[in-house]
Chain A
Amino acid sequence: MIDWEIVVDNLPAFASGLVNTLILLVTVIVSGFAISVPLALVRATRSPYFSGPVWLFTYVIRGTPLLVQLFVIYYGIAQFEFVRSSVLWPLFRSPWFCAWLALTINTVAYTTEIFAGAIRTTAPGEIEAARSIGLSRAAVLRHVIWPSAWRRALPQYGNEVVMMMHATALASTVTIVEVMRVARDVYTNYLVLTESFGVAAAIYLCLTIGLTTLFRRLEKHFLRHLSRSDTSHTSGQRAERLNPKVA
C-alpha cells in the first residue's frame, strides 16, 4: 500500500526539512526564553506603569492568529518605503528572519504570561525570609524567586515548546522548506498521502514524543523535591486565559 520507493527517494528532502524545522525551533525557543524572562519580571511587578504595557503586548499577540502575525511581518513591513530603503531591508526581505521574528514574538507573549504567573505565586514568606537575612533585591530574584517560579512554570512551558514546534509548520507559507513544505511538495509531485503527509506526521509525532520526554526528564530533575505529588501535564493546549494561580 505504501510506495516505499517514493518514501526512500524523498528521505533526503525530509531530512533537510527536519533540519530546517529544528533550526527554526531552536532559535525561536532560545531567543523567546531570553526575552521572556526579563519581560515576565516586568509583567509581575505591582506597578501598572510597568506591567501594563507588557500586558497589552501579550494581550494583542495572544488575541491574534500567528498566521496573521507572520503575514504582517513578511508581507506587511515591505509596504513602508522607509524600511525598504533602510539597512534593515535585507533582514525583512528574508523569509527566515521574518519567520523567526514572528514565531519569537508569538512565543514571547505566551511564555511571558506563563513565567509571570509563576513569579506572582511565589510565597510571600519566602521573599520576606530572604530579605530579612540580608539578601539584596537582585539576589532574592536570582536565588529565591526565579528558581521556584521556573519549577512551577515548567509543565506549562514544556507545553508551549511543543506548541511552537507545531507552529513552525506555518513557516511553510512563507517559502521556508521545512518538514511541512517538503510534505506539500511531495504531495504535489506524486499525489500520494501516506508517502507525503504520512511521513511528515511520523516526523512530527517523533518530535512531540521527544520533546515531551525531554520535559518529563526536566520536571523529574527540577521537581524531584515534589516527586510524590502529581505534576500531571496539562491538556496540551495553550492556556488562552491564564489562571493567575498556576501552582
Chain B
Amino acid sequence: MFQGYLPMILEGLRVTLSVASVSLAIACFIGLIGASAKVYGGRGIRLSATAYTTVVRALPDLLVMLVVFYGGQILLNSISETYGWGYLDVDPYIAGVSTIGFVFGAYLTETFRGAILSVPAGQIEAGFAYGLSRSQVAFYILLPQMIRHAVPGLTNTWLVMLKATALVSIIGLDDMVHRAGLASAATREPFTFYALIGLIYLAVTTVSVLLFGAVEKVSSRGVRSGGAA
C-alpha cells in the first residue's frame, strides 16, 4: 500500500519525535530561567523577559524559525570569517530545535511563572527558616509543587510543539513531513503519504495525552480534590 516507503516514513517519525523532545527540554530550560527572571528578577531583567515573551508570542512560529535559521547562518559565517574557518553551514537539526525551543520557551515562561506563584510563599519562608539553602528550597520545595501546577500547561505546549515540528521541514530538516513529500513525489500518491503522516501525528498526540494524564495524576497525589476521585 505504501510501496515500501513505510520504513522511511517511520524513520522520519524518529526525527520528528527527537526534534520535539529536544525542543521541549530546551523550552523547559528557557522557561524556567524566564519564569525566575519574571518572578525574582530586578526591573531590567523583568522587562527583558517580558519583551521576550510578548514579542515571540506575537509572531508566527515560521517567521521566528526562519530568522533564527538564516540569522544563525549569517552569525556563524561572520564568526568563521574572523577566524578564517571558511564557509560553515548551520545544521538544520540544531537550528530547528533551538528555534522551536526558543519559541515555546516563551509559552513555558508564562506557564512556569504561574506555577511558581501558585506555591504558597509561606512554604518558601518556612524552608529558609529551617536553614535550607536557596538551591535546597528550589529543589525540595518549589520544584516538586510547581510540577503539579505546570503539568496542564506543559501538556498543552507539548501538543502544540509536536505539531509545530512539521515546520522544520521548511528549513530542510529530514523529518516526517519532508519524507512524506519525497515519497509522494516518487510514487505520485501525495494523498496517501500526507494522510498517513497525519494519522501518525494523531496517534502520537493521543498517546501523549494519555501519558500526560498519568503524570498529572502522579504529580497531584496527596492533593485533596472536591470530586469523587
Q: Is A67 an interface residue (CB 8 A)?
A: yes
The binding surface of chain B is classed by DSSP as helix
Q: Mark B178-211, 1 if CB is under 8 A from A, else 0.
A: 0011001000111110110110011001100100
Closest beta carbon of chain B to A61's beta carbon, Å = 10
Contact across chains for B191 and A65 when beta carbons are under 8 A apart: no
Contact across chains for A77 and B206 when beta carbons are under 8 A apart: no
Contact across chains for A64 and B63 when beta carbons are under 8 A apart: no
Q: Mark A151-191, 1 if CB is under 8 A from B, else 0.
A: 00000000000000011111011000000100110010000
**A238-B159 Cα distance, complex, nearest whole Å:** 10
Q: Which of B55, B167, B194, B201 sits near A71, CB closer than 8 Å? A: B194
Q: Is B59 an interface residue (CB 8 A)?
A: yes
Contact across chains for B63 and A241 when beta carbons are under 8 A apart: no
Q: Is B143 an interface residue (CB 8 A)?
A: no
The binding surface of chain A is classed by DSSP as helix
Contact across chains for B62 and A193 when beta carbons are under 8 A apart: no
Which chain B residue lies CB-closest to A204? B59
Contact across chains for B195 and A237 when beta carbons are under 8 A apart: no
**Residues of chain B lying within 8 A (CB to CB) of residue A79:** 188-192
**Residues of chain A lying within 8 A (CB to CB) of residue B166:** 65-68
The size of the chain B interface, using a CB distance under 8 A, is 48
What range describes how many residues of A lie at the interface?
35 or more
Closest beta carbon of chain A to B188's beta carbon, Å = 7
Q: Is A76 an interface residue (CB 8 A)?
A: yes
Which chain A residue lies CB-closest to B111? A235
Contact across chains for B58 and A209 when beta carbons are under 8 A apart: yes
Closest beta carbon of chain B to A98's beta carbon, Å = 12
Q: Is B74 an interface residue (CB 8 A)?
A: yes
Closest 3 CB pairs of A and B: A76-B191, A65-B166, A169-B60
